[in-house]
Amino acid sequence: MDNVELLSIACMVLVLLLAIAFWRFLLCRRQLKQLYSSVSHSSDEPYLLNVSLESSPQSLSQVEEMVSQLKQQLHQAGFDKLTGLSNRLSMKQKLASMMPLKQGSLVLLDIYRFRYVNDLFGFSFGDELLKQIANRIEVDVHSSSAIARMNEDEFLIYFPDGITETELDTFIEYLQQPYSVFESPITVRVQVGHLGLERFHGDISTMLRRLDLALKKAKQLDRTIAHYELGDDAVQLREVSIINSLVKALQDGELYMVYQPKQNFQPLGCNQVEALMRWQHKTLGNISPAEFIPLAEYAGMIDLISQWVLDQVVIQQAKWRELGLELQVAVNLSTQDLKNQALIQEIEARLFKYQLPANALSIELTESKLMEDIDGAVLAINRLRSIGVDIAIDDFGTGHSSLAYLKYLPVDEVKIDQAFVEGLETDPQAKHIMDTSIRLAKGLGFKVTVEGVETEVVKQIIVQMGVDKIQGDVFAKPLTPAELEVKWPKLSSVI
């Protein structure tokens, strides 16, 4: 073989090697783009990657290195760094790969008030507790199940063979057994939403939404376990409709105020009313404040409502003063309103505009909400009292572990919740609880009002216990401003 033939063969081999290399280069680039595209478009929760495609790789080794880096980051991004479990996006992709899911169960588990663990013991303590809870879940759940940490204190578990009520109770009991975190014992309470897929299967978004509804129901009803049921979707649609129509309802006059008088016994008569909201929705009919106020708080719209209520009250107060009706109006504010740094200035500006004294207003705050941030509440209450506004604790007796803090609250009045009125006519224990509550509050220097008094018999029992005021239909129902003006001469002189 001469030199020409050898050169020809060498050239052919070189061309072949170049062709193979070029083919591998194109293949790797294509793989890289597919990986990046899958990350960018497979979910509304994209991964955070450190690989950039802004500048094209110029060599095969660069492409292979970028593919390796991207695969490694994709693997890491599919897991929760703290617990090692799958994360939300990875779990959604796992479920999507199993579709259609028409058997088994989905369970969404929430650690009750976990944020208080972080607040009390610190984030390192909370992180260690989460790792131990995740480990228990992994140990107890069958290997064929899928587990993920969905957010700070929620875990999602897919049981392919389903889970019975008894099995779920046993699982929860196991998770609620004491933990030892940094040699400190601690127990947790968990709440669970359950979705049976044989009856309620669907696409991923629908199933997760229904699971959220089940957990939300468990929290609202203070249950350990709640199951998704037919009709739960309608509840959510109603809530969404209420939230979406709230602003327009304020603009269109669907919301309005009524005022319920309180009867004084020391001295006799009436000099205060409570402002109450009403909503006559065009399509949903009458909506109770007990329904739309929590939704407004959840949607971050409570400040809008509170500002509207304060406007309505001071405007009405000014009108009544022109008519010679000098009375105090109690207004319910959310504890979220107390976080508004401009609240004091806003109240003072309204009082100045309508030439009203500060004691024309009384602010009522719900006891159970105050206990969630007692220190912040005390600061805010002191600021309100500094301008002369009276403060009352509403629904007294419904808060948890609050008696120890009661003496530190700088308030003028407590309102005993109507739940304590039930059974007063026949139940000696109910009488003892009511009498003790009144004595306790008065012993701490507070005026006492009892809510929900509906009969004359109950009224006389409470009066003998030394209550200062009552509020309820036995004295007067909530009245429109016009109705109150007509009835005021009689109400204010009742003996």
Q: How confident is the model at residue 295 (pLDDT cuts 50, 70, 90)?
A: confident
Q: pTM above 0.75? A: no
Of 180, 200, 230, the residue at which a domain comes to its end is 230
CA distance 96 to 117: 34
- Per-residue model confidence as pLDDT tens digits over 179-214: 999 988 999 999 999 999 888 888 888 889 889 989
- For residue 399, what pLDDT is reported? 53
Domain annotation covers residue 53: no
> Are residues 270 and 208 part of one domain?
no
Give the pLDDT score at 493.
Answer: 77
- In the prediction, which pLDDT does 69 show? 58
State whether 376 and 452 are in the same domain: yes
Are 116 and 258 part of one and the same domain?
Answer: no
Does 283 share its domain with 166?
no
Does 398 lie in the same domain as 283? Answer: yes
**H/E element, 301:** none
Asked whether residue 364 falls in the same domain as residue 473, the answer is: yes
* Overall domain count for the chain: 3
In a domain, 169, yes or no: yes
Domain membership of residue 130 (yes or no) is yes
**Per-residue pLDDT band at 255 (split at 50, 70, 90):** very high
Q: What is the CATH number of the domain that holds 199?
A: 3.30.70.270
Q: How far apart are CA 388 and CA 383, in angstroms?
A: 9
Across 80-85, average pLDDT: 87
200 and 110 co-located in one domain: yes
* Residue 475 included in any domain: yes
Residues 209 and 316 in one domain: no
Domain of 65, in residue numbers:
1-23+58-75
User: Does residue 165 share a domain with residue 68?
Assistant: no
Average pLDDT value for residue range 148-170? 91
Identify whether residues 188 and 323 lie together within a single domain: no
Mean pLDDT of 72-97: 79
pLDDT digits (tens, 9 = 90+) for 387-407: 999 999 887 766 544 555 677
Residue 462 lies in a domain: yes
Sheet-wide strand order for 190-196:
146-151, 154-159, 105-111, 190-196, 225-227
Query: Of 230, 251, 284, which residue constitutes the final position of a domain?
Result: 230
Beta strands in 30-182 (DSSP E): 105-111, 146-151, 154-159, 179-181
- pLDDT category of residue 158 using cuts at 50, 70 and 90: very high
Closest to 329 measured CA to CA, from 301, 298, 350, 345? 350
Q: Which residue has the higher pLDDT, 366 or 163?
A: 163
Q: Give a yes or no: residue 29 inside a domain.
A: no
- Asked if residue 424 and residue 339 are part of one domain, the reply reads yes
Does a structural domain hold residue 366? yes
Average pLDDT of the residues of the chain: 83
| Residue 42 confidence (pLDDT) above 70 | no
In a domain, 41, yes or no: no
Tell me, what CATH number does 461's domain have? 3.20.20.450
What span, in angstroms and rounded, lies between the C-alpha atoms of 382 and 410?
A: 7
Q: Residue 239: CB partners within 8 Å, gap ≥ 6?
A: 295
Confidence of residue 483 (pLDDT cuts 50, 70, 90): very high
The answer on 347 and 253 residing in a single domain is yes
Identify the domain boundary among 75, 103, 135: 75
